[in-house]
Amino acid sequence: MAGLVYGGKFEQHINHLYSPENIHETAKKFKEHEQKNGKYSFGDKFTKDLVPDQKNWADEKGSTLGHGNWEKHSGGIPAAIRDKITDVISTNLRSAHPLPLVLKVGENVDNTHDLHVKTFAHKGHMHIGLHILCPNGSLK
């Protein structure tokens, strides 16, 4: 997930699928995915199953390269951060009352990955926020 590859339309689409209106359907799909494919791990096939149409992977510049590079990019995130994302998403989607999730992908100030997880209230719903920071592309 280098640069802002997963901002734009992809981020908007994910946030729609994890919104208060859609979280229960997304959780149902998640449980079906695990029954069919085994335990979820961030970067596995679930995201592509959830967002199968390549056009919905468009970044802020309109590129859909993130679709074909998902496994490579997500696999480039340090294991500790991938494990934390896996834990947050899977625990939430397996729960009886999953919370809506808000994803924000951006560039870090340096050339490292980072993750900020925050629970917050918005429009009468508790949400989980995942802010994934990718290496700063201008520092290469």
pLDDT in tens, 40-88: 999 998 999 998 888 888 877 778 888 888 888 888 899 999 999 999 9
Instruction: Indicate the domain borders of the chain.
Output: 8-139
Chain center to CA of 102? 9
Residue 2, pLDDT > 70, answer no
The pLDDT-based confidence of 6 (bands split at 50, 70, 90) is low
Strand (E) or helix (H) holding 122? strand 114-122
pLDDT of amino acid 124: 94
Amino acid residing at 23: I
Chain center to CA of 103? 6
Q: Residue 32 gets which letter from DSSP? A: H
Whole-structure pTM value:
0.90
pLDDT in tens, 93-119: 999 999 999 999 989 999 999 999 999
Secondary structure in 3-state letters for 78-119 = CHHHHHHHHHHHHHHHHCCCCCCEEEEEEECCCCCCEEEEEE
The arrangement of strands across the sheet holding 101-107 comes to 101-107, 125-134, 114-122
